[in-house]
Chain A
Amino acid sequence: MSLRTPLGKVLGSGSAGEGTTHWWVQRVTAIALIPLTLWFAASILRKPLQSHEAMSGWLGHPWVAVFTILLAITLAWHSWLGVQVVVEDYVHGKGAKTVLLLLSTFVHFAAAVAAVFAVVTLAVART
């Protein structure tokens, strides 16, 4: 006799309550990162990196700003999920695991907000 509710069976989300979402988002962000990182690397490697004027002007350009923000958010998301899996697999102490997962979440959100804020600042300063 199964103790699973009919609704639980239909949703098929398992005990963690999220089903294959984690695995799936990891792949979706990975696919998005292929063009985003290729574009960013190919662009930035042709820029005069030491020049503040040139770099801030480039990153503040509307389309460059939009795609750099997409890159930062997607990177943060993919990285957050990846670090979570590594911590869950290799850190066995309950306290240490909880602390590391919290720390990873905070750092990833902080880095993502900082990156987005920086690009928005550059875009506003340019206009």
Chain B
Amino acid sequence: MSQRPLSPHLGVYKFTYTMSLSILHRLTGVANSVGFALFAWWLMALASGPEDYATAMRCLSSPFAKLLLVGFTFSFVYHFCNGIRHMIWDTGRGLERVQARRSGMLVIVVSLLLTVLVVWLGCAALTAGAP
């Protein structure tokens, strides 16, 4: 077993910013899994009735929870945009180094803009219909 050849360890490669985008795709993916559990919990609170829903919405309105929700928003939006980038790669396009760097930059910019948009719309939706 120990005599089998190993692929080069990560440490031998020069660090490039496209690598951090790739790592971020996995990190945001795991964060989104937690976000999905939160979504299921929110749906259960809604189905449990007005009192439970009010409690859940109070939990989500604390400053810490709001910060967390902004984080989940960026996490989701980034994974969404970079996922599309991955699908384009799956067709064999955009794999040249210059193209991959350019699309990476585009994903970051679009993700940040969409995060701002969703947070802005979310704030408006959160203040509407308060009991």
Q: Which residues of A contact B (CB under 8 A)?
A: 27, 30-31, 34, 37, 41, 44-56, 59, 68, 72, 75-76, 79, 82-83, 86, 104, 107-108, 111-112, 114-115, 117-119, 121-122, 125
Contacts and interface: CB of A to CB of B under 8 A. Distances in A.
A30 B87 contact: yes
Contact of B40 (A44, A48, A59, A114): A114
Contacts of A108: 33
Nearest to B52: A52
Given A27-B90, A86-B30, A49 B40 contact: no
B46 A31 contact: no
- Classify the secondary structure of B's interface with A: helix
Interface string B30-63: 1011001101110110110110011001000000
Given A45-B125, A51-B131, A79 B53 contact: no
Given A27-B87, A34-B84, A50 B121 contact: no
Contacts of B54: 52
- Classify the secondary structure of A's interface with B: helix
A75 B36 contact: yes
A43 to B, nearest CB: 10
B39 A115 contact: yes
A49 B126 CA distance: 5
